[in-house]
A and B are shown apart, each in its own frame.
Chain A
Amino acid sequence: MNILVCISNVPDTTTRIKYSADMKSVDYSGVQWIINPWDELALTRAIELKEAHPALVQKITVITAGGADAEPTLRKALACGADDAIRVDAPGGDSLFTATQLAHAVKGEPFDVILCGIESSDYNGSAVGGMLAELLDYNSVSAVSSLNLEGNSVKVTREIDGGKQSIETSAPVVLIVQKGIAINPRIPSMRGIMTARTKPLKVVAAAAASPGSKVVGYQAPPQKSACKMIDPENIDELVHLLHTEARVI
């Protein structure tokens, strides 16, 4: 069984967002890039599964659609334990554009389980995984919080509206994963970093694709007004303010 993990290259979660002067684009100068947190958990689970079932899981591949500047992030994924990497040489676009690029590189390749994070921490689209599944005409399960492999069967837990479900499905399948799939992300070891340098990283040319949406501009979110401090000896004051001033209880 071969596992593919889709990786989004995103600014570190503590990044302060800066903009171009016309507010039409984000200024990425000085930004630290990381593996999207959910993708990092997906990769972690893939590595755990390969360790637990060495006879069953043959290979873990990571893929991203992006420019050459995304390669350090792919190398980090290789250092964590992925076996090889694919970069689709496509500049940024919307979710439809990105999913089309990934599908183009994946179509016909022998991947059995494709893992995507449920969201990318930059544009918070929650879209690429589901789109990729549809473009490949594979089954998909979203909001997956646990994943196990038993022979050819893929066993997952998914969150549903108001609860959760245990689901069984079979390869090929796209799983869109969230918190719980793994707890602590794998951190590259020294040895991992060394071997990552020589692991294969294939660059695939972009497919012809047109996006379905485009960014018009950005705004900084509105500033919060100052916090009203309340004396811990006077909790009634808090209750009173929430009731009469904020009117939320």
Chain B
Amino acid sequence: MSVLVYIENRNGKFKKSTYEIVSYGKRLANGLGSSLTLLSIGRVAEDELKNLGAYGAGKILSAETDAPLDDKAYASLIASAAQNSGATLVVMAHNVTGKALAPRVAVRLNAGLVSAVNGLPVSYQPFVVSKKAFSGKSLMQAEITSDIKVITLSQNTAGIETFAGEALIEKIDTSSMTSGTKVVSTEVQTGKILLSEADVVVSGGRGMRSADNWKPLEELAGVLGAATACSRPVSDEGWRPHHEHVGQTGKVVAPNLYFALGISGAIQHLAGISSSKVIVAVNKDPEAPIFSAADYGIVGDLQTVLPKMTEAFRKLKASS
């Protein structure tokens, strides 16, 4: 019996979310009285894999391949690894990759799937997990009743723990992988902090007035080392790219700190930000609903408040 965690690399490197999911897998294995096996697909140097030992990695299956993500091929590889390692629980991150692969893996293993799970299970026997439902308006507990179980973990809900131990690497064969999709081109975001993994997010709404006004917002983001985001009308208008759209129909984010600048706080926007640890709102309307979701609020005009904020944070950063 074991827990299998799929770990994703970006250009051969692991991210903070990988350490979270590995140490989460270890805690699950402990809770179930079983062992942890990791599966890496792609080319990752041995040192980078070995580093995962400190987060609880026991055995690491390394499927070295240059094959880009293909839902069917990757899911098939993960499902066979699960079968070969006798996994009764398969875990993936609830990100674009996990969303693509976990459902296919679940079908292959004839397993129940609960996605976007918050942290550790409520109980192991029966296996009950907690997750948000109705886009954050409700919390739900679900029991997975099948013998083999698949879950995806909501980012930043389990935290990172370290363990003593060493990782053992075993290469697995990828020669039978075939792909039904062809990658024509890949565009990687470089030099920018990615919204999905940022600790601080600076987000603007229609109250920013126009695309040209984004410069001061980006300046604040620069000072804070933050990712930039926006509300839906802002991306619909083309002021900002779609991948910055946060909310019910865009991205769900869970940073430590979220700035809502000129965002009214519609329920569909809140659906994407309610897992943020701290929310700061700036709005000229004291009645804006965003203030009932925020922890700190400023009633004022962004034209004057935003530059002042940037200065004040710059001062703090310079002194610390």
* Pair B134/A214 contact, Cβ less than 8 Å: no
CB-CB under 8 A from A225, the residues of chain B are: 295
B185 at interface, CB cutoff 8 A: yes
Q: Which residues of B (195-211) have their CB < 8 Å from a CB of A?
A: 196, 199-200
* Pair B224/A213 contact, Cβ less than 8 Å: no
B299 at interface, CB cutoff 8 A: yes
A165 at interface, CB cutoff 8 A: yes
B124 at interface, CB cutoff 8 A: no
* Pair A127/B102 contact, Cβ less than 8 Å: yes
Known: A161-B10, A162-B189, A232-B299. A122 touches B97 (CB 8 A): no
CB-CB under 8 A from B116, the residues of chain A are: 124-126
- Separation of A133 and B71 alpha carbons in the complex (Å): 10
Name the residue on B nearest A140 (C-beta): B71
* Pair B102/A134 contact, Cβ less than 8 Å: no
B250 at interface, CB cutoff 8 A: yes
Q: Which residues of B (262-309) have their CB < 8 Å from a CB of A?
A: 267-268, 271, 274, 277-278, 280-281, 291-300, 304-305, 308-309
Question: Pick the contact of B256 from A17, A37, A227, A248 — CB < 8 Å?
Answer: A248
Contact size range, A: 35 or more
A160 at interface, CB cutoff 8 A: yes
Dominant secondary structure at the A interface: mixed
Interface size for B (C-beta < 8 A) is 99
* Pair A118/B281 contact, Cβ less than 8 Å: no
CB-CB under 8 A from B175, the residues of chain A are: none
CB-CB under 8 A from B182, the residues of chain A are: 167-169
CB-CB under 8 A from B43, the residues of chain A are: none
* Pair B183/A235 contact, Cβ less than 8 Å: no
- Separation of A176 and B166 alpha carbons in the complex (Å): 39
* Pair A142/B256 contact, Cβ less than 8 Å: no
A139 at interface, CB cutoff 8 A: yes
* Pair B274/A221 contact, Cβ less than 8 Å: yes
A212 at interface, CB cutoff 8 A: yes
Question: Pick the contact of B304 from A127, A183, A217, A232 — CB < 8 Å?
Answer: A232
Q: Which residues of B (1-21) have their CB < 8 Å from a CB of A?
A: 8, 10
B164 at interface, CB cutoff 8 A: no
Name the residue on A nearest B99 (C-beta): A126
- Separation of A177 and B187 alpha carbons in the complex (Å): 19
Q: Which residues of A (134-163) have their CB < 8 Å from a CB of B?
A: 134-135, 139-143, 145, 155, 159-163
Q: Which residues of A (174-231) have their CB < 8 Å from a CB of B?
A: 176, 179-180, 183-184, 211-221, 224-225, 227-231
Question: Pick the contact of A163 from B94, B186, B296 — CB < 8 Å?
Answer: B186
Known: A133-B71, A227-B296, A236-B312. A212 touches B133 (CB 8 A): no
Q: Which residues of B (32-72) have their CB < 8 Å from a CB of A?
A: 68-72
Question: Pick the contact of B103 from A131, A139, A229 — CB < 8 Å?
Answer: A131
- Separation of A203 and B111 alpha carbons in the complex (Å): 28
Known: A133-B104, A134-B107, A161-B95. A228 touches B305 (CB 8 A): no
B101 at interface, CB cutoff 8 A: yes
- Separation of A123 and B113 alpha carbons in the complex (Å): 12
* Pair B69/A160 contact, Cβ less than 8 Å: yes
CB-CB under 8 A from A170, the residues of chain B are: 180
Q: What are the 4 tightest A-B residue pairs by CB atom distance, in nearest-first order? A: A212-B112, A130-B103, A232-B300, A142-B100
